Amino acid sequence: AQSVTQLGSHVSVSEGALVLLRCNYSSSVPPYLFWYVQYPNQGLQLLLKYTTGATLVKGINGFEAEFKKSETSFHLTKPSAHMSDAAEYFCAVRDGSGYSTLTFGKGTMLLVSP
């Protein structure tokens, strides 16, 4: 079975500071990994994904994440936070060996202060 752990239900940063949202996963086979963002009163939007190939993946809005197999991690980063980044972020995993459902982490609310 696959699972996702997101460390910290809330992360607070100042505008311009580094954003780091942590995600660890477990999967019995090579995973597909995703980060989604949910703005208030909206659905989920895909930020970025890792399937195969380069382990550092870049997404929209300046976010990137690095797949580290040895650490079973897929942390999300952004060098400089903007007020508009305030939202909830979900890490998700899918079994990459064939069809499987997405398993989501509990989410991390990013708060950005001026």
Partner 1 sequence: SAVISQKPSRDICQRGTSLTIQCQVDSQVTMMFWYRQQPGQSLTLIATANQGSEATYESGFVIDKFPISRPNLTFSTLTVSNMSPEDSSIYLCSVEGGNTEAFFGQGTRLTVV
**How would you list the strands of the sheet with 56-58, edge to edge?**
3-7, 19-26, 73-78, 64-68, 56-58
25 contacts partner 1 (rule: CB under 8 A): no
- Grouping H, G, I as helix, E, B as strand and the rest as coil, residue 27 is coil
Question: For partner 1, which residue of 7, 15, 49, 77 counts as binding (CB under 8 A)?
Answer: 49
Q: Closest separation between CB of residue 21 and partner 1, Å?
A: 14
Biggest CA-to-CA distance, the chain: 44
Answer positive or negative: Cα dihedral of 58, 104, 7, 19. Answer: positive
Q: Does 41 bind partner 1 (CB under 8 A)?
A: yes
Contact between 34 and partner 1 per CB under 8 A: yes
Contact residues for partner 1, defined by CB under 8 A: 32, 34, 36, 41-46, 49, 51, 90, 92, 94, 96, 101-102, 104-107
